[in-house]
Amino acid sequence: MVHQRTSGHRKPFVALILALGGFVAQTQLTHRVLTVMNYNRPFFVIYVTQSVFTASVLVHLVYLAITTKSPISSLCKGLKITIAKRLHSSKSLQRIRFPCIRFLLITLTLTAGFTTPTLLWGVGISLSSASDVTVIWNTNAFFAYLISVTVLGHQHQHSKFAAVLLATMGVVLVVYGGAEPGNSVLHHRRLPSRSVGDLFALLASVLYAGYQLFYDGFIELPLTSPQGLDNFSSESTPLMEPEELEEYKDAIYPSPYGLESSFWTSMIGLCTMSLLWAAFPALQSLGIEHFGLPTDPPTVLAILGAAMSGATFMTGTMMLLASWGAVTTSVTTLLTTVLVFLTDLLLGAAISVWSIIGAATIAAAFVMLLLADNSPALVHATQESNV
């Protein structure tokens, strides 16, 4: 018997909390490692952070096994069906075959699509001011909308476009209207190579918008209907082997909310860990970054904390992409600017009225975008809260 799970309408907001909290913690810890602790090896920190992504699906499976009492084997079987069905051009499930070549290509594409803009962001922030790079990076919401309309042919919505512009303006107000340089993680010294760094940040922003749209288009809608599984029989599906029917009869399908996103996050981490280590000798020989493991325990703990926070942020973001789409998710991530601003405030940084206005503008744009998108999640969450 195949068990069915529904995602629920509040769970995307849980993913939102994970994404926002993970980003803020990662930002603060990474900044502390690279500056206060003087461990200026950004590539190594990025490598460790993305390698920790590998544990995402394992942690999710253990969590589901504990909270739902579901066998991990049944969860894994359902996940295999979900991924196989996602990768096949045909959505029929007459035979559960895993397309390994397509799976490898998708994994490599997702890894390159996420890692490339991340590295470009790191280069940009080392050449320009962090305030410039923060604003330029957060324009990915605008580029995501622009690409979705002009390239992918999605319908233009004036209200959604206005929300994207409003959120971008809010980021500018928070970053440039906030604390004085040196008091905040959003500010950094200005160097002569600022324009070059800004160019890297702009390219990173465009590529990251493209990555979000690729994943959004690949995932399409969540697989919420067990098409064909309830009717598996040797008569109705003559191509299905009896052994295969027996093997998957206890599969939990569709997979619980977010498990597929956790799986792809883990694949990005595994691919990063397996391939990106080869860049260390090249960076060493070119004098760009000298490899060296941290020696003092506080730095080690801070790097591990940043890595786990980054994995939380990435998993939550991937869940939001599958739930709300690229444009809404990209604007949602702009809320991280507000939270970083608030944590800086708690750490003693000075603020201005413009920063407060900017933070409120981003929050208003987020709500405006959800309403413009007619998000069922928002409607149902509101209804449930009133019950």
Domain ranges of the chain: 11-375
Please give the residue that has the higher pLDDT: either 313 or 183: 313
385 pLDDT band (50/70/90 cuts)? Answer: very low
Q: Are 242 and 235 in contact (CB under 8 A)?
A: no
4, two tokens: 């069915």
For 214, how many CA atoms within 13 A lie in the half-sphere containing its CB? Answer: 15
Q: According to the model, what pLDDT value does residue 50 have?
A: 92
Q: Give the mean model confidence (pLDDT) for residues 60-66.
A: 93
Q: Are 152 and 358 in contact (CB under 8 A)?
A: no
Q: How do residues 72-120 score in pLDDT, each as one tens digit? A: 999 998 888 888 888 875 444 555 667 788 889 999 999 999 999 988 8
Q: According to the model, what pLDDT value does residue 243 have?
A: 58
pLDDT over 70, % of the chain = 71
State the average pLDDT for the chain: 75
Global pTM value: 0.76
Q: How do residues 169-205 score in pLDDT, each as one tens digit? A: 877 777 666 544 444 444 444 445 667 777 888 898 8
Q: According to the model, what pLDDT value does residue 177 have?
A: 64
Q: Which of 2, 72, 15, 8 is nearest to 262 (CA)?
A: 15
Phi and psi at 246, nearest 5°, equal -65, -40
3-state DSSP call for residue 65?
A: helix
Q: Are 332 and 318 in contact (CB under 8 A)?
A: no
Q: Which residue(s) pair with 3 in the sheet?
A: 252
372 pLDDT band (50/70/90 cuts)? Answer: low
Looking at the chain, list the stretches that DSSP marks H as alpha helix, in order from N- to C-terminal side: 11-31, 42-52, 56-68, 72-87, 100-127, 130-137, 140-150, 158-176, 194-219, 242-247, 259-275, 279-286, 297-324, 326-332, 335-346, 353-372, 376-385
Q: According to the model, what pLDDT value does residue 303 have?
A: 93
276, two tokens: 């990106």
Q: According to the model, what pLDDT value does residue 331 have?
A: 74
Q: Give the mean model confidence (pLDDT) for residues 24-44.
A: 82
**Residue listed under structure tokens 């045909």:** 90
**Residue listed under structure tokens 């942020």:** 313
**Contacts of residue 300, Cβ cutoff 8 Å, sequence gap at least 6:** 294
Q: How do residues 139-168 score in pLDDT, each as one tens digit? A: 787 788 778 877 776 677 777 778 778 877
Asked if pLDDT for residue 254 goes beyond 60, the answer is yes
Q: Which of 249, 259, 242 is nearest to 82 (CA)?
A: 259
Q: How do residues 338-349 score in pLDDT, each as one tens digit? A: 776 677 677 666
22 pLDDT band (50/70/90 cuts)? Answer: confident
